[in-house]
Structure 1
Amino acid sequence: MLGGGGYHQVKKHMAGSERQREPWPFFWQHYNRLDGYYNGMRTLVPYSEYQPENQWNQSYPPPRLSAEEMTALPKEPPMDPVKYDPYEDLLDGRSAIKQCYLDEAETMPAPDIYAYPGLPQNMSLPFYGSYSELGLQEDVCFERFGRLAPYGYGLDERRGGLGAGNQSENAGADKVFAMLGNLNYSSMDWGGAQRRCREKNEHRFSEQHKGGKRPVQRQAYVLRTWTGYNYGEHEILSMRAMINELALKSGGEYDVHLLLHVKNNSLPIWASDDLYRETLEANVPREFWNITTLWSEKQMEMYYPDPFPDNFANMAGSNLHGVYRSAHFALQWFSQQHLEYDYFWNWEMDIRYTGHYYDLNNRVGKWARAQPRKGLWERSRRFYIPARHGNYANFTNTVAAETLAADYAANDIQQSGPLPVWGPVQDFPNRGMLSPPANIIPPTTYAADTYTWGVDEPADLITFNPLFDPSHTNWVFSWDITGYDRSLPPPPRRAAIITCARLSRRLLDTMHAETWQMRHTMFPEMWPPSVALHHGLKAVYAPHPVYFDRDWDPAYMDQVLNYPETVWASPFGWGENNLLGSSFYYNSGFSGALWRRWLGQREGAEGGKSWEESGSGRLCLRAGLFHPVKHEVGPED
């Protein structure tokens, strides 16, 4: 609500300040702008020769290619694209997959995407999060044709193309098109393709596996959409990429679903199959009809009926069953209808990813599984800044040094600092909750554990922003807590901004039971983390790479993001201006601006076809999540 066009207002103010010599309103605006993101394909160099633009605010100006060096660049990219294949560990003790196809006749194999084996010289480094720690490749980049042409980008309508990219700068893109093979999305049915792929690979999911092979756990990737949503060219490209990379290329490990919110509560879609189908077909492109499930707020009122008493504060001023305050109700309901899945990815329609979806999901899941429980909540509430903390092991030690290690049985206090979370957190006066799972009690004391408990345990919750304590911030929805005794203090809780996350069946079952049996719920960004906290489930913030548009000093970033001096200064509240220039936050402006530049669109006075053709070519970025991307309609010329 606070964000809106905040980033562009800041940019506008900055432009005026530079003319008028007025002070900038926020300290971070004093840092040097990073332009290495916009170095194009003609500047590609092998990773061994790559030098990042970031100087961590230690020099001015940062090193950049000169105008003379830009002019001397070859017009064609100095490297050829290569197939990007993140499925090398797809077997990992599991049965081999059978190839899946787009069409029933099996003439169109699920396509590959293509990357470049290098980086644009002086491209910037991420500020928090890490490729190497998550196991993601940091020595390749993705440009728009290698990433999206397999899904119709830059193709004419005879090949199922969408129009996007047909007029943009395309030097060297012919090499991508030559490798695509026969593709045509004009009569695509993704539901049929997913079903055929799943059935062909049913042997991989059976509990009665032969030959000692372990079964593959199935996952649902749930995209939250609504009636009236506009599916433009780039939304369709992104959805095709998700389904192909997560479901078809993995041999059916995933199914991608659209969970469609029917806004008209008076529409009796449950009384008529014909009306249900009519509503679906009127609001979703044909190729996605058979992966779509409808729901409504009126349905949630019946599924989780009132009363829901004792709300501490309704800051949104809206109905409890409304999607704004209880978007998780629909996901909880969906999980109860689909017992075939072990994990559910809750995904938003305005997230984009320059890299490969299976690569991201697989690496994040494996990394989270490897994390020990000791100090996990404490690490997950902080931003991991490699330029400040070093490697993740050193970051773990830093957090441990700031946390009280206490043997609760012997009351053996080792250090000074806040008490760590260790097992279910239910020792607070405002109880009335269901009991935690029996197998979730820590096997030893916190002090005695040697970072072994939790290793090789799949995470029940994986978030993409820190799991912070709302009581230590002035986050506006901190008190949107329902069903707990208001005569007592509110329960301890955690939250993660942006609702995209992976949730286990165990977590969703617990959320569902707490909702219908105990009438408990909280604001959507707070409910899954808080249930995990109360019931001792494994929750983790995955430190994916996040970029900034300015060359922050790492020590200052660490102070501002991890150690705000007051609750008012927290980045999860009034201090959120510090994340306006990031590539991933709920109201970031840099995210959409950089994504549109990557698509070849003009953003303000920069970018577009003539800019790229007269400069260093189109952008080639490392894999990265961008949120929010509110539109993709900028001009390409």
Structure 2
Amino acid sequence: MIAETALDIGGRFQVFILVDVKDGGLDLFDDRVYNETLKKSVPDEFRDMALLFNEPLLREWYPKFSEHGAQDQMYQALQVFSYSFPEFDYVWQLEMDARYTGNVATMLTNAGLWAERQPRKNLWERNARWFVSGLWDDYSEFSAHVDEEFSDDSGIWGPAPGAEHYIKPQGPTPPDRQHATWGVGEAADLLTFAPMIDTIGSNWTYEHTVHGFQPGDGLPRRMGIVSMTRTSRRLLRLISAEQRATGAWVVSESTPETWSFLHGLKAVYVPHLFAFNFEDGDMSTVELDNMVHRGPAHSLASGEKTGFLWCENGMGIPEGRWLSASYFYWAGDAPNVWWDYTNGTCTYPLLLHPVKQG
């Protein structure tokens, strides 16, 4: 990844490694302690791109928080990074157990350019659906279908309805709704690799994990599985400022999605190829569509019957066939695809997660 991003395209990207130091007794504000820990923890060839943090450091930044662990607060360290390196307008966060069967720099660049071409009209409604390519000639046909479905102008236009009860929206003032191309040419503040869904009524185990917002259950919010995103400096600063001032938070998978939704910022789910290795044989496109879309029209990939979220009350993952996906938050078929690819098997460009070895 380092070769393909920082070197292959002339330094358009710069790679950093955020290292979560588990020893909370270390004072990383002390230069001597920091340098000693860096030397002990990171191989020499990666030290000049590694940045250390631990929970006490994050606690100094966000003293009104009760939670600083990486699982629930993946973006706190990235927010600190954005303040430390303000020269970066956008930051990609990729997890160490992600792999790509192609050129990473090309994939990230194309994702940003594609998102820039997307209009805001019914964007949140498109964002909340998986793009099942076999159902449509192309994404434009899919987009036109969603526009027709929401031709009554009921789609989100600007900040989330009711957002003003929780924050002061900082996104652009929406034009009249007849401006169907609003957002075209606008760089997105948030890019995700999974749909951004409404979690209310989903039975997701973190559905009610809302802190510092009153009333919490009524907070308009969105989430996307796997915390691999591109976030803008503006978005990270808005999240950080609110968290420092009020201690308000939701879990990692909801953080940039919810703040974008509340502020009326441009957020785009970037579709990419998935592979499923179904044990019971192939599935038709219509059957796949029925498997991944079980929710209400405004958030078709969610709802109380959604199959891919980890649900509370001992339900686990309701739709077990998601465990064969090449991109998921649970160990599915990604390691097998990566193993075959590294051993010479030709495959489509696939973003894989998680791959814990290799």
Q: Is the shorter-chain TM-score for this pair beyond 0.5, marking a shared fold? A: yes
2:42 paired residue number: 284
The one-letter code of the counterpart of 2:105 is Y
CA–CA distance in 2 between the matches of 1:427 and 1:599? Answer: 49
> Of 73, 76, 82, which aligns to 1:326?
73
Q: Does the CA-based 8 Å contact 1:433-1:518 persist in structure 2?
A: no
Greater shift, 476-485 or 362-371, is seen at: 476-485
Q: Secondary structure at the residue paired with 2:235?
A: helix
List alignment gaps of at least 5 residues for structure 2.
297-302, 311-316
State which of 546, 556, 565 in structure 1 corresponds to 2:287: 556
1:280 and 1:294 in contact (8 A); partners too: yes
Q: Which amino acid aligns with 1:555?
A: V
State yes or no: 1:544 paired with 2:272.
Answer: yes
TM-score (norm 2): 0.91
Question: Considering only CA atoms, is the larger Rg found in Structure 1 or Structure 2?
Answer: 1
Equivalent positions of 1:56-455 (< 5 A) are 242-271=1-30, 273-306=31-64, 308=65, 320-406=67-153, 419-427=154-162, 431-437=165-171, 440-445=172-177, 448-450=178-180, 452-455=181-184
SS of aligned partner of 2:93: strand
Gaps of 5+ in 1: 1-241, 309-318, 407-418, 601-617, 633-637
List per-residue Cα deviations over 1:217-265 (Å, max 9, x = no partner). Answer: xxxxxxxxxxxxxxxxxxxxxxxxx222211222222110011111101
TM-superposed deviation, 1:426: 4.9
Q: Deviations over 1:99-128 (max 9, x none)?
A: xxxxxxxxxxxxxxxxxxxxxxxxxxxxxx
Match of 1:534 among 248, 254, 262: 262
User: Partner of 2:188 in structure 1?
Assistant: 459
1:348 counterpart SS class: coil
2 CA distance for matches of 1:428 and 1:404? 23
Q: Give how far 1:436 is off.
A: 1.6
Give the letter aligned to residue 591 of structure 1.
Answer: A
The CA deviation string for residues 323-355 of structure 1, in whole angstroms up to 9 with x for no partner, is: 222121111111011111010001100000110
Equivalent residue of 1:246, what SS? helix
Q: Hey, what's the Cα distance between the residues in 2 that align with 1:597 and 1:391?
A: 29
In 2: Cα distance, 1:528 partner to 1:349 partner: 20
**CA deviation string 1:478-535 (max 9, x = no partner):** 211110124x643110000000000011111111111112322110100100000000
Partner of 1:592: 335
Identity %: 34
Asked if structure 1 preserves the Cα contact closer than 8 Å seen for 2:291 and 2:307, the reply is yes
Deviation at 1:576, TM superposition (A): 4.3
How do 1:25-40 residues align onto structure 2 when only pairs under 5 Å count?
Answer: none
Q: Distance in 2 between matches of 1:595 and 1:353?
A: 8
Structure 1 position 622, deviation (Å):
2.4
* Residues 391 and 292 (structure 1), Cα distance of their counterparts in 2 relative to 1, 3 Å cut: same
Per-residue deviation at 1:545?
Answer: 1.0
Total equivalences in the alignment: 343
- Structure 1's 620 and 575: CA in aligned 2 closer, same or farther, altered over 3 A? same
Q: Which of 325, 328, 347 pairs up with 1:582?
A: 325
Aligned-residue CA RMSD (Å): 1.8
C-alpha contact 1:432 1:518 (8 A) present in aligned 2: no
What amino acid sits opposite 1:405 in the alignment?
D
On the 8 A contact 1:434/1:514 being kept in 2, the answer is no
Post-superposition CA distance 1:29-80 (Å, at most 9, x none): xxxxxxxxxxxxxxxxxxxxxxxxxxxxxxxxxxxxxxxxxxxxxxxxxxxx
Query: Any conservation in 2 of the 1:473–1:570 contact (CA below 8 Å)?
Result: no
